Structure 1
Amino acid sequence: MPRYTAHAPGTFSFAGLVCPDRHVARAFYGELLGWSYEELLVGPGHVFTICRRDGETTASINELPAEAVAPHWDSYLTVTDLPAAVARGTGLGGAGIFGPIDVLSPDGGQVGGLAMLNDPAGHGFALWRAGDSIGASLLHEPGAVAATELTTVEPASAARFYAELFGWPDDGTAPPVRPVRDGVPAGWLPYFGAQDVAASTDAAVRLGGTCLERTAGRRAILADPAGAVFGLVELLTTREES
């Protein structure tokens, strides 16, 4: 099981859940993805949760009131120069939402740098400059982010925006950008690795989630009990090894 100690610029390196009740989220994802948790008090009455699988960081949970922001998953891309990336993103037609800021730990340590932007179509994404935290130390494994894709009404223009912003090549290796389809909200979507997507999808529904799309292949798209949308993708190696 590979552990990451760094992420290349322009790659997805983390996913963060924003939800109104961290206890409900913890119960759902803990059972579904096998997560354990570490809670950090980051402000008066504000608890930030680090999600782990097998001791490795996979994601985070940020509890915010539903009236302040709709439940959703944020996808983070690594950059080395945060202000320059923000300036480039806004120069290409994106819009700044938040930051850039330095993220400090409760003891004053430099966790990293954060900014959040909308692309020209209004789809949000996060930029992360590594400090003490690189983001996720576990990817492409069961219970960890294994893929990230964008659905949008204008895939060609979106692909150009991100290619110019991050230097993504036009050779089929960039994160997929797909047309919107019925029943699936537009925006960036993290997919978590699963050993058996069909069984995991059934489990998610039993735990209070909703299946939005189930393909004949190895993927499914779901909403958690609060309505945050995420995907499951079956990892070929796990089925081949079983």
Structure 2
Amino acid sequence: MSTILVTGGTGTLGRPVCERLRADGHEVRVLSRHSPPYAVDLRKGGPVLDRAVDGVDAVVHCSNIRRGDKEAARLLIEAVRRAGVPHLLYISIIGVDRVPLGYFRTKYAVERMIQGSGTPWTLLRATQFHDLVVQLFQVLAKPPVMPLPRDVRAQPVEVTEVAARLSELAAGPPAGRVEDMAGPEIRTFPELAHAYLRATGGRRRLLEMPLPGRVYAGLRRGDLLAPERAVGRVTFEEYLARRYDTP
């Protein structure tokens, strides 16, 4: 079996990727800021990063750094090239090339850096995880009236399903841009909000509001959706039932 390094290996996606790889018999190295022996701030690099990538068969880049993501990617790519790692795998987001959100622009820039790195690579884009939708609703549900963007839909996907796909890709040869991965259903924000409130026992009046700007226009167009790639199986309600232990 292979030796595979997972950056961000203690995070929302990285942890299940590591679990799946280990279950499949691979040796896994976990890289994060607080996980010895490969505790590294990717924005700074250094000798521990070089030691982490030395001798691995693949690197799965799951780190999600809000500030400094491009610098972290640059340092990782340089370390991968020095070590001669034969496969660099990156997880990105459907729509990063269409919705002009700053975070998306950064993710898209990292995609292009990896594609132009000279290192054999694989790129998988996915829709947002169920967990991210819940995090958003936790904030929006704090006031008595729950504001929602009008005419916006989402297609959330189960993180463990994405982790399984990443693990499969990491164990194989570099594949370039592979088919996107999206959740099983396209849902309106009110539908998702009602499901969240039912699962959490909350009562809120929903207020749909139009928003200004090109980001909102992209969301209304469905630029974050991939109806033709609805390959996920776990629905938002099924995720909520498991998370909140509801029938």
Structure (1/2) with the larger strand percentage: 1
TM, length-normalised to structure 1: 0.28
Work out which of the two has the higher radius of gyration on C-alpha atoms and give 1 or 2.
Answer: 2
Structure (1/2) with the larger helix percentage: 2
